[in-house]
Amino acid sequence: MANGFYGGDQVENYLSAGCTELVNQSPSDEFMIMSLSRSDPKFQAICRDFGEAVIALRGFEAQGENGRVRAVEFQQICKDLRLELMEYVNQEATGPKAQGHR
């Protein structure tokens, strides 16, 4: 979703939105989420996509009935990206990287 068409500020807004939403949904993982968001390019990319999807979902939800179909699509996109991010968080929290072996 995030691509070269966006300026740096917009990309960072997506990253911030993604991290905020992920922490809101999984507050016990805040430290790992924030750590990965600062240090791991793959996590950052997925989190940006998640943030962009969350922002789009909210926009479609705000349209009411007119945005219902797209909102359902973006609910699934958000769910899938959140699952991918949480798998990443859980893997990092329990794997060798968690002990400082990058």
Nearest to 47 by CA among 74, 86, 101: 86
Compare 94 and 25 and report the one with higher pLDDT: 25
Predicted confidence at residue 97, as pLDDT, reads: 56
Q: How confident is the model at residue 93 (pLDDT cuts 50, 70, 90)?
A: confident
Q: What is the pTM of this model?
A: 0.81
DSSP class of residue 3 equals -
- C-alpha to C-alpha distance for 69 and 83, rounded to whole angstroms: 22
